[in-house]
Amino acid sequence: MYLRRINKKKSGKNHFYWALVESYRTEKGPRQRIVGYVGDVSRAKARKIKQTVDRFDSIQQDFLAPEELPEFATIETRKIRTERQREFGGVWLGNKLFCSLGLSEFFGSCRKKGRETVDWQDVIKILVLSRFCHPSSELYIAEHFYEQAAFEDYLGIPASKIYDNRLYRGLDKLLPHKDSLERHLKQRLGSLFSIDYDLFLYDVTSTYFEGQMDGSSLAQRGYSRDSRPDCKQVCIALVVTKEGLPLGYEVFAGNRHDSTTVKEIVEKMERQYGSADRIWVMDRGMISEKNLGLLKSRRYIIGTPKASLKNFERQLIQKSDWRVVREGVEAKICRSPEEETEEVFILCRSKERARKERAMHDRFIKRIEQGVDKLHRACERAKGRDITKAIERRVGRMLAQNSRAAGFFSISTRYDSQERRTVLDVQKKDHDSEWQRLTEGHYILRTNITDWEPQRLWEAYINLTDAEEAFRIHKSDLHLRPIWHQKDDRIRAHIFVCFLSFVLWKAFGLMCKNAGLGDEPRRVFKEIARICMVDVVLTTAEGKELKIRTVPRPDKPLQIILHRLGLHMPERLTKRVL
């Protein structure tokens, strides 16, 4: 926070007053907000007011532990009050998950005691739990969230010892433990939730940066999944199980193509977890001849570009051999067009996907038809002038903006010297239109697993949505984007903190699922996070104040939820002093 002197001109006179302003970060950059108005006072007095506010914010209010309370006391009921309300539920739940996954023991075993007054284990816990509870920058954690939440009561570290540079250095301490921590989490999650690591789901996403990022080799321009081609980005490759639990990840430069990352990821996973009985499931963006050669000695199920449907036109038209794999979804196994390969192809069709693609085609066709009408009118208005090249450019832009329906039309331009105007020739490609309509809702998979039924193969591939869901959680719930860090190691450490927070999130999701609370842990988390910690101040008849730090008792529905999760929320807190 800082003081800002504001000048307002009224009736030809300047009026000055002071305002206390707070600076904070948003996705669109740093912003300021006025906390309060001080008025027209001298600079010295305004400075004293700011110091008073800072000192009040940093006061560590002491409280009495249960064993320190007197057995009997006469209380003046009219003077009972509460103060210092802070967020408790989210921090408490995150700490429970952090400990249940053995992260405290892991970081404790890696700790090398130095001259620091705060253990790096605690700094890393603050970073991970803050990302889990209230995703924000390290600066916001240091200046606001640490004091607003119950960290001091759990860690016993005063707020004055937590500042942005210490949190940044915590990122540096975390990164070297990445590979060993991934192995630890794999073993721990496997034992907690009885996970079978037979299916590896692999996908790649991107996230963008704010700023020029001239000093980072990772920040490059490439295909943006966030619809931010104006920003540099970084690619993140993630491997998850069929339950959506993360096994590992790697960070690549933002201009890497998905298919070029496969070899590194496959070799890394096999080094860490072995190669026996693994099935790799990947999307069609991973296909290349080199990758197919790499996976030939392994088992795999991979999506295939839609253009390859041309090789299966006869099977696509045939009405026989289709099997229902789910309501509204059918599949059939087709042999490879290449006789020497052992691959099989799974031809799939979905009624819901067909409706979606048909609606998209209709929408883009309508846009092109409306654009053609505008171009015809433009040619009529420009009679006597040669605007052929300008019309050609407009046609190109129109087809590029509506690429999904561009194949339905053949559009050409020419200049008619007799009529002295540009003519637009538009024809509808009936054959291509029929093919586009025929393939709506169809897609094809390829695999070297020849002894499975179509339903089992399709169900294994559809688990790939768990990797896509992992990316959605990273970006929406954990606020992975945008990235503000400028150094490559800090960028990797930021993504690592998001990865660890995601592990906590997925562990909580499996706890909810096993407890019969459904597949949507967000609502359960929001209910738990609403619980705040308060100090109850009791004034005795002798004028002495007794301060008790308490946690409100949850209402009955939340008590039932906590009981089903096997969690027990404390009513009182015990002091922890660093």
- Give burial (CB, 10 Å; 0-12/13-18/19+) of 497: buried
Segment 285-297 shows an average pLDDT of 89
Whole-number pLDDT of residue 489:
93
Q: How confident is the model over 134-145, as pLDDT tens digits? A: 998 998 999 889
Q: How confident is the model over 332-375, as pLDDT tens digits? A: 998 877 766 778 899 999 999 999 999 999 999 999 999 999 99
Whole-number pLDDT of residue 381:
87
Segment 556-575 shows an average pLDDT of 85
pLDDT range class, residue 321, cuts 50, 70, 90: confident
Segment 105-110 shows an average pLDDT of 86
Domains of the chain: 2-57 (no CATH), 195-283+464-485 (3.30.420), 307-453 (no CATH)
Within 13 Å, how many C-alpha atoms sit on residue 357's CB side? 16
Q: Specify the higher pLDDT residue, 187 or 383.
A: 187
User: In sequence order, what are the beta bridge partners of 149?
Assistant: 87
State the DSSP string of 514-535: HTT--S-HHHHHHHHHT-EEEE
Whole-number pLDDT of residue 58:
41
Whole-number pLDDT of residue 26:
61
Whole-number pLDDT of residue 201:
92
Cα separation, 131 vs 500, in Å, equals 9
DSSP secondary structure letter of residue 142: I
Token pair, residue 83, equals 């103060």
User: What are the φ/ψ torsions at residue 14 (nearest 5 degrees)?
Assistant: -90, 130
pLDDT score of 29 more than 80: no
pLDDT score of 60 more than 50: no
Phi-psi group of 203: left, alpha or beta (phi > 0 → left; psi -120 to 50 → alpha; rest → beta) = beta
Segment 383-402 shows an average pLDDT of 89
Cα separation, 361 vs 357, in Å, equals 6
Q: How confident is the model over 491-506, as pLDDT tens digits? A: 999 999 999 999 999 9
pLDDT score of 203 more than 80: yes
Cα separation, 1 vs 169, in Å, equals 23
Tell me whether strands 29-39 and 13-26 are parallel, antiparallel or unpaired: antiparallel
Q: Specify the higher pLDDT residue, 407 or 501.
A: 501
pLDDT score of 14 more than 90: no
Whole-number pLDDT of residue 113:
67
Segment 399-424 shows an average pLDDT of 88
Helix (H) or strand (E) holding 10: strand 2-10
Whole-number pLDDT of residue 465:
87
User: In sequence order, what are the beta bridge partners of 15?
Assistant: 8
What percent of the chain is modeled with pLDDT above 90? 42
Whole-number pLDDT of residue 93:
94
Whole-number pLDDT of residue 569:
86
How far CA 235 is from CA of 207, 289, 349, in Å, comes to 7, 22, 31
Whole-number pLDDT of residue 55:
47
Report whether 251 contacts 222 (CB < 8 A).
no
For residue 341, the one-letter residue type is: T
Segment 47-73 shows an average pLDDT of 64
How far CA 366 is from CA of 32, 172, 404, in Å, comes to 46, 54, 12
167-181, 273-287, 563-577: least confident range: 563-577
Q: Which of 360, 358, 364 is nearest to 399 (CA)?
A: 364
Whole-number pLDDT of residue 419:
83
